[in-house]
Structure 1
Amino acid sequence: MPAGGKGLLTSPDDIVRSWVGGLGHAKVGANYGPSVAASQEAARQGIHQILWLYGDQGKCTEAGGSNFFVVWKRKDGDTELLAAPLDDRLIFDGVIRQERLEGQIEVTERKFTIDELAEAASEDRLPEAFSADTAWLICPVSAIQHRDKLIDVSMGSDGGPSEVTGKLKNLLYDIM
């Protein structure tokens, strides 16, 4: 794993943290019990948390118990902040979703896959990723280990948070 930021290991195929029709949208212990074994495996590999994937296509949902966000350049060249949607109730709605960067970056909530992230990284279109808990903590992500592939995520030149991640951290700190 590259230095700085959080390293993520994608969830194993045989473990899910939440599912459609379950309680992924609620703060209950049942959401986190299934994650213990996968989290222990990540720790054994020197990786911080699990990037939870859902379904056959590997849709990205959460990083550990936090919302997962990506800043990337779409193929049309525009930059957007991307987050998994809340409509299927797989993930908990966090405060960071209320902090919009109006006029600074397009914000999109949609399903996206680990393969889309890998492609964006290979085309140098993945400048940032971060996790945000449900209250205030924002942590930059520097790499994602997906099976036998390491997906590098750019970070700030000083190893700290990149532009959007830093702006959101500052917005939340100002509120506190």
Structure 2
Amino acid sequence: MSKTQSLQFVRHPHPAPLAADKRAELLKNPGFGRVFSDHMATVRYSDSQGWHDARIEPRAPIPMDPAAAVLHYAQEIFEGLKAYRTEDGGATLFRPEENARRFQQSAERLAMPILPEKVFLDAVDQLVDIDRAWIPEGDGSLYIRPFMFANEIFLGVKPSSDYLFIVIASSVGAYFKTSAPAVSVWVSQDYTRAAPGGTGAAKCGGNYAASLLAQAEATRHGCDQVVFLDAVEKRWVEELGGMNVFFVFDDGSMVTPPLGGTILPGITRSSLITLAKDKGIPVREEPYSIQQWKADAASGRLREAFACGTAAVVTPIGTVRSPDGEFTIGNGGSGARTEELKATLVGIQRGRVADKYGWIHKVF
């Protein structure tokens, strides 16, 4: 057995975790991404030692040299998944193995070391186990953020020789803060998210940094999210700022843009394709243009559209705006197909619907 395969996490419990009454108060309305649990998981990597020093320890600031490679050359990747509270007080994860594999694919694209799947899963399990009290009741969840960055102290354009892998957790409620039945989206015509041969299929911070100016533009136009078109023809719908997108038609079929290196291979996206096909819903992965989107909405051929992702789950899209005007999809709210798929997905995630796929991972 290799040293990495036998890597064991050593627990260093927080000497003064947040008091239960203060934690309960925070969990009443945690929002998204602002309330953090007591601990974090850390594992170090160096070319000379490989993966080593696996710990569960109190969440704390990270000491960092100003010449750390990540600050200059952006070698950084991350993942996002959720832990759910079960009726018996336990905790479950949804398809964490897929997050571990996508993390490996992102690492490969950014010339970073490959973290073994077992280490990824152990880190997440250990953190959720020690901080399971931070999982909110009801519709809330514990959002898990694994990430890795280049930590070598060196100014030079080359892959780092040192890395730090960390997992933190945040108690969360709904991602979108709107009470509207559907979100509105802005079609970016000046900015693109990713180009062929780029990092669009990797979950790296640079992709999201590149989307922020377009997202700010969307906000100025009163929209909740931005929609990116392809970088070559600026015609084909690709994905939202941080979510995949689906279209539902009057014949009951669905379309989602195809993967091809410029779109993130979403785990929620993949799960919805499987669920839809098992329900007898035809699903096509094919290009869909912004012009066709507008025409199909006007004719009534397009009945529903929705965004999906770990944070957003399944969120209906009601209005699409661009410099050329705006149009509404269906009645501007959600639709039967969107709600059906969302109910099944969330039901499996929360243990209310039988999991015949083996997607649910029990934490210890």
Equivalent residues in 2 for 1:72-83, closer than 5 Å: 72-73=249-250, 78-83=251-256
Q: Report the counterpart of residue 258 of structure 2 in structure 1.
A: 85
CA distance in 2, matches of 1:155, 1:175: 28
1:5 aligns with 2:178: no
**What are the equivalent positions in structure 2 for 1:87-106 lying under 5 Å apart?**
88-96=260-268, 97-99=270-272, 100=274, 101=276, 102-106=278-282
Q: Equivalents in 2 of 1:121, 1:141: separation in Å?
A: 12
Q: Contact conserved, 1:93 with 1:134, CA < 8 A, in 2?
A: no
SS at structure 2 position matched to 1:34 = helix
Tell which has more relative contact order, 1 or 2 (C-alpha 8 A, sep 6+).
Answer: 1
Distance 1:36 1:69, change over 3 A: same
- Aligned partners of 2:247 and 2:236: how far apart in 1? 13
| Alignment partner, residue 336 of structure 2 | 163
Q: Which amino acid aligns with 1:168?
A: L
Following the alignment from structure 2 to structure 1, what is the Cα–Cα distance between the partners of residues 203 and 234?
Answer: 26
How far has the Cα of 1:95 moved from its partner? 2.2
Which residue of 183, 201, 226 maps to 1:25? 201
Structure 2 residue aligned with 1:151: 327
CA contact (8 A) 1:95 1:135 kept: no
CA distances 1:129-154 after superposition (whole Å, capped 9, x unpaired): 00001466111000111322212111
Cα gap change, 1:140/1:115 in structure 2, threshold over 3 Å: closer, same or farther?
A: same
Structure 1: which amino acid aligns with 2:265?
D
Q: Which residue of 1 aligns with 2:238?
A: 61
1:141 corresponds to: 317
Gaps of 5+ in 1: none
Give the superposed CA RMSD.
1.8
Q: Which amino acid aligns with 2:203?
A: K
Q: 3-state DSSP class of the match of 2:253?
A: strand
Residue pair 2:189, 2:234 contacting (<8 A) in 1 also = no
Q: Residue 118 in 1 paired to residue 294 in 2?
A: yes
* Residue pair 1:95, 1:136 contacting (<8 A) in 2 also: no
TM-score by length of 1: 0.86
Which ranges of 4 or more aligned residues in structure 1 deviate by more than 3 Å? none
Contact 1:50–1:63 (8 Å) recurs in 2? yes
| Aligned counterpart, 2:212 | 36
Asked if the contact 1:70/1:130 (under 8 Å) is kept, the reply is yes
Matched, 1:109 2:285: yes
Contact kept? 1:67, 1:94, Cα under 8 Å: yes
Is the contact made by 1:136 and 1:172 (CA closer than 8 Å) also made in structure 2? Answer: no
Distance 1:151 1:38 in 2: 19
Structure 2 CA distance, aligned partners of 1:5 and 1:135?
Answer: 16
Uncovered stretches (5+) of structure 2, i.e. residues with no partner: 1-179, 350-364
Contact 2:186 2:223 in 1 (8 A): yes
**What is the percentage of aligned positions where both structures have the same residue?**
32
| TM-superposition CA deviations, 1:71-91 (whole Å, max 9, x none) | 123xxxx331110111x2111
In our comparison, the structure showing a higher alpha carbon Rg is 2
What is the number of equivalent residue pairs in this alignment? 165
Change (3 A) 1:147 1:129: same
Query: Aligned equivalents of 1:32 and 1:40: distance in 2?
Result: 12
